[in-house]
Amino acid sequence: MDGKFLTFSNFLSILRILLIPPFLYFLHQDERLLAFVVMLIAIATDWFDGQVARWTNTVSDFGKVLDPLADKLCALGTAGYFLWIGEIPIWFAGLVVFRDFVIFIGGIIVKSRYKIITTALPTGKWAVGFMAMMFIVMVWPNPPFVVEPVKMAFMYAAALLLMVSFVQYLIRVYHIVNGQAYRNL
CB 82 within 8 A of CB 88: yes
Mean pLDDT rounded to a whole number for the chain: 92
CB 124 within 8 A of CB 96: no
Q: Which CATH superfamily is domain 8-177 in?
A: CDP-alcohol phosphotransferase transmembrane (TM) domain (1.20.120.1760)
Query: 184: pLDDT confidence band, cut at 50, 70 and 90?
Result: low
What is the separation, in whole angstroms, between the first and last Cα of the chain?
25
CB 38 within 8 A of CB 23: yes
Q: Does 1 score more than 50 pLDDT?
A: no
Please give the residue that has the higher pLDDT: either 5 or 165: 165
Digit-coded pLDDT (tens) for 49-106:
888 988 999 888 888 888 888 988 999 999 999 999 999 999 999 999 999 999 989 9
| 31 membership: H or E segment, kind and range | none
In the prediction, which pLDDT does 118 show?
A: 85
Rounded to 5°, the CA angle 92-95-97 comes to 110
Query: 17: pLDDT confidence band, cut at 50, 70 and 90?
Result: very high
CB 49 within 8 A of CB 67: yes
CB atoms within 10 A of CB 159: 20
Q: Give the residue extent of every domain in the chain.
A: 8-177
Q: Does 33 score more than 90 pLDDT?
A: yes
The Cα 85–Cα 79 span in angstroms is 10
